[in-house]
Structure 1
């Protein structure tokens, strides 16, 4: 997937005002409109112009696009959005249509940044739309929480970035802070709805809603799959051979677990119902990893040598067909 320089496509500098972007788009759109243009690549150019204008005409998308930085150049291959590049950035909800009202078909590059959504509701349609109250559009943002937040539920303060036009009609970032309640058991990909925290209404209409999509911060111990939680647990060779009772850390506190004797490295054990809480809670899975001491004393080395002699008939690679 190639990076697209939307400023270059529209022939405007990065510092262009919104009016300058609009004028350039209209001029180029007339030139490359497939119904009138004689250019051989008119259809493709017209499509590119529409995509570039969709981003740069919208202060929110334009400010977010600018966050990618100046390191990427038009035509550069192998583009991938930086991880979490648009976290805590607030976008107006709704989908994407061209100026003619038809559903837009945008590139993979566009969808990797802004996704694909259903068509916008026509908030301005109907009789007396200029005077009657109209509800504001919904907005959405992605936020990161800790795993313990989902286990316990909590209230926390978050900062969201959105945009507004300055006196020169250029978008600038602004920040607003909200206190939100994170419900116990919330999962990755679910959304928290904040009523009337979206875009303001028109003519006295109520504001839209704000939807916060949940992502989890990386954890040094645990990984997640839906409601299930996973942990790699180091154990000593003698614990694997003889069995043992060990304490296992979980996001809800320590749990004592029995390791069966003759346990191999990689064996998975399950603590039922110890995953993310819910009416049907997830499970907590422990993968055992046998770990040797980083340094063997002379006495320890002698014990391993004695074990080697005592277990001379044991071949751990017999299943591979390896001969002694």
Structure 2
């Protein structure tokens, strides 16, 4: 006997469409054969996928709720046939009552147990419809499930976008995808590969593959949405007197003007120099001044610093 589809997904029979989808995504990620190396994971994944395909479609779910695992063997115009008696011995009316036992051959076959116009009870529905479906019946076309995988990018790769070859799958199912990454993708954004998900059954179309972007930590750049934060090292005299200094950004080298009298922690904003946004306003880049002193001053530098210390009345602890 096939497992109950609600049991497979771990949801109740009155679960909402959102609850079914959430349960499927959680289980699919856990049991996907590219992630789970358990030999039984692939069969478990197929079972999860089949349950989702049935329960995610309202019409298919309604038929499953009504007829159970054998719903594919029941013709679409079943109610009309029962009402008209067409193909069932000429009887009309009657109510359908199903039993999971007592059928010829035993097991869980669906059995007609009542209804006006039928000669005798206990008609095996599988036998009744075998001529229509050529045996046990063939399920109709069903679309494949959407799938999801992680796409890891550096800040620079996410900033510039472009084409990239992405290998996915384990050693038993290696596959490489040509992915067109939009410039300025952010952490958590999904890139859709149409028709690259789970295979459909029959003539059903394949599902889609979604690559969820994961931007890797960077030694220089810190992201906040589309804004980029970066430290700007400056010498004490550049901070005191002001200067124009170079700053490396994901898009190249920019010139930054340091105002005179700048202290560590001062934030300089470069408008529009953050992550691009093809559909809106790009982010900004924020340069945080960090004053760096010479680790080993030359004799002349030391002499000048001592002279400055002698003549200056500045006390940083009072500011």
TM-score scaled by structure 1?
A: 0.58
Structure having the larger proportion of residues in helix: 2
Question: Does 2:161 correspond to 1:153?
Answer: yes
Give the unaligned 5+ runs of structure 1.
Answer: 1-21, 27-50, 68-90, 102-118, 163-171, 320-324
Change (3 A) 1:59 1:272: closer
Structure 1 position 233, deviation (Å): 1.1
1:80-127 deviation digits (Å, cap 9, x = unpaired)? xxxxxxxxxxx979x99xx9x9xxxxxxxxxxxxxxxxx962696435
Mapped to 1, the partners of 2:265 and 2:302 lie a distance apart of 25
Q: 1:277 aligns to what?
A: 276
Q: 1:217 aligns to what?
A: 216
Contact preservation (8 Å) 1:92, 1:138: no
Alignment of 1:139-218 (within 5 A): 139-161=147-169, 173-218=172-217
Change (3 A) 1:317 1:137: same
What secondary structure is seen at the aligned counterpart in 1 of 2:140?
coil
1:207-253 deviation digits (Å, cap 9, x = unpaired)? 11100000113333212111001111110000000000111111111
Aligned-pair Cα RMSD in Å: 3.4
Change (3 A) 1:231 1:315: same
Mapped to 1, the partners of 2:45 and 2:152 lie a distance apart of 19
Structure 1 position 143, deviation (Å): 1.0
2:32 alignment partner, one of 60, 64, 70: 60
Q: 1:303 aligns to what?
A: 304
TM-score scaled by structure 2?
A: 0.59
What secondary structure is seen at the aligned counterpart in 2 of 1:64?
coil
Q: 2:110 aligns to what?
A: none
After superposing on structure 2, the runs of 4+ consecutive aligned residues of structure 1 that deviate more than 4 Å are none
Structure 1 position 309, deviation (Å): 0.9
Mapped to 2, the partners of 1:298 and 1:148 lie a distance apart of 41
Give the unaligned 5+ runs of structure 2.
Answer: 8-22, 39-43, 64-70, 74-137
2:56 alignment partner, one of 105, 108, 121: 121
Give the aligned length: 213
Mapped to 2, the partners of 1:222 and 1:240 lie a distance apart of 22
Change (3 A) 1:55 1:254: closer
Structure 1 position 203, deviation (Å): 1.4
Structure 1 position 65, deviation (Å): 5.2
Contact preservation (8 Å) 1:92, 1:139: no
Q: 1:229 aligns to what?
A: 228
Structure number with bigger Rg = 2
Contact preservation (8 Å) 1:244, 1:260: yes
Mapped to 1, the partners of 2:27 and 2:239 lie a distance apart of 58
Q: 1:18 aligns to what?
A: none
